[in-house]
Amino acid sequence: MKVWNESRELVKLVYQSLNQFPKEELFGLTSQIKRSVISISSNIAEGCGRDTDQQFAYHINVALGSSFEFESQITLAYDLSFLAEQDFENISMRIFHIKNMLIGLHRNIKSNYSK
């Protein structure tokens, strides 16, 4: 699944970018960012393993929520000057793309079980 692959690639990029963060943020914003970005691909995977389209759609929706949470956190990191502008722009572009794929996938799944 393309959105799952892209979300995993985002995790790798984010982990590399988090090396720039202050060490005192290790258990603060850094930890929150890691949890939310990992949650995206994890919920996609969990949804794929469910028995029904309704359960799959639910987990895609949770992944979408995590993507919005992650976007907010990465924006805060940029606002606090923890993240370089180029890294922020690259990550922002990727999460925008992932969110759009999740929205489309969610709509597609819902239309399949609504018929």
> Cα dihedral sign for 19, 23, 24, 27?
positive
Beta-carbon contacts of 19 under 8 Å, excluding residues fewer than 6 positions away, are none
Tokens of 71: 């976007």
Please, which pLDDT band fits residue 1 given cuts at 50, 70 and 90?
A: confident
- Model pLDDT for residues 41-50, shown as the tens digit of each residue: 999 999 999 9
Considering only CA atoms, give the Rg of the chain: 15
Please, which pLDDT band fits residue 38 given cuts at 50, 70 and 90?
A: very high
| pLDDT reported for residue 112 | 80
The answer on pLDDT for 115 being more than 70 is no
The pTM for the full model equals 0.93
Please, which pLDDT band fits residue 113 given cuts at 50, 70 and 90?
A: confident
Report the alpha-carbon distance of residue 51 to residue 56 in Å, rounded. 8
Domains of the chain: residue spans and CATH: 26-114 (1.20.1440.60)
